Every structure is written in structure tokens, then in C-alpha cells.
Structure 1
Amino acid sequence: MHILLALVFGAVYGGVLHVLMSGRTSRGAALAPMLGAVLAGLVYVALTWLGVTAGDPWLWVASLGTPIVLVPVVLAVLTRVRSAQDAKERLRLRIS
């Protein structure tokens, strides 16, 4: 049941970043919240499988810290890649 806290945090954090970061018109509205939730959930599950309990603060530091670090990086990279790909496609189609 504790995993829900990590999932909700990841989704909310991703949603906030989607709104605050530039380039949100070039990515779907559900991408950032889903990415945050998946990252938090995967880290939580992996650590519990390794024997870390919900009472251990490192479980929470890792499962909440992973989306904090990775979601903005992934969104920035995806925005740059999409912008570059769109510019290339506009050149190919001769659209100004």
C-alpha cells in the first residue's frame, strides 16, 4: 500500500513539471506524469524486492528522488529531440 505514495508523488511531480517546463506543446500531457509515476514505482518495487522495508528512509529517498532527478532531464532531452526533428521535417517538406 505504501507504493501508492511513491506513485502519486511521481505523477504529481511529473504533472507539475509538464506545466512549468518549456516545450509542453511538443509532448503529450500524460507523458511527464506517467514517467514520474513509473520511475518512482520501479525504484520502490526494486528496492523492496532487495529487502528494503517501508520504514527505511533510503527507500523513500531513492523512490522519490529518482523522479526528481530524471523527469526534468528526460523532458528536456525529449523537447530538444522533438524540436530538432520537427525542424528537419519542415526543411524536408519545404514548409517555412
Structure 2
Amino acid sequence: MQILLGLILGAAIGLAAHFSLPHRQLRGAALAPLAGAAAAAVVWTALTWMGLGVDSPILWIVAVLAPAATAFALVPLVSRSRVTRDAADRDRLGV
């Protein structure tokens, strides 16, 4: 049940990444929150299996840093790929 804390935290960080990075119109609104939640879930699960509890600051620090790193790395990569592909399609179509 405590993993919900990590999931909500990861989704909130992903949502912040979605709104703070450019090219918002080129990607889905759920991409960054889902990526953040997934990263937080993996990290939270791994660290709790290693014996850390919600009272451990290491768990919280890593649960914030992992979704932030994932969302802020994935979103520009997807946006850049979309911009490049759209430009290639425009060139191919002669628009």
C-alpha cells in the first residue's frame, strides 16, 4: 500500500516535466507522468525489498531523483524524435 506514495510522487514529477519542457503539443499528456510513475514504482519496490522503509531518507531521495531523471531524459528524446520525423515527412511530401 505504501508504494502508492511512490507512484503519486513519480506521477507528479512527470507531470511537472511535461509542463516545464517545450514541444508539449508533440507528445501525449500521459507520457511523462506514466514514465515518472513507472520509474518510481521500480525504485520504490527495489528499495523496500532491500529493507528500507518509509522512514528512510534514502528511499525518498531516490524516489524523487529516479522519476525526475527518467522523465526529464525521456520527454526531450521523444520530442526531438518527433520534430525530426515531422521535418522528414514534410520534406518527403514537399510541403
Same fold (TM over 0.5): yes
* Shift, 1:65, TM fit: 1.2
Counterpart for residue 13 of structure 2 = 13
Please, what TM-score do these two structures have when normalized by structure 1?
0.88
* Shift, 1:53, TM fit: 2.5
More contact order relative to length (CA 8 Å, sep ≥ 6):
2
The 2-side partners of 1:67 and 1:44 are apart by 11
Unaligned runs of 5+ in 2: none
Counterpart for residue 53 of structure 1 = 53
The count of aligned residue pairs is 95
Unaligned runs of 5+ in 1: none
Structure 1 counterpart SS, 2:16: helix
Please tell me the residue identity of whatever aligns with 2:38.
Answer: V
The 2-side partners of 1:87 and 1:75 are apart by 18
Please tell me the residue identity of whatever aligns with 2:17.
Answer: L
Identity of aligned residues (%): 39
Please, what TM-score do these two structures have when normalized by structure 2?
0.89
Q: Deviations over 1:12-34 (max 9, x none)?
A: 12112212210111100111111
Structure 2 counterpart SS, 1:52: coil
RMSD, aligned CA: 1.3
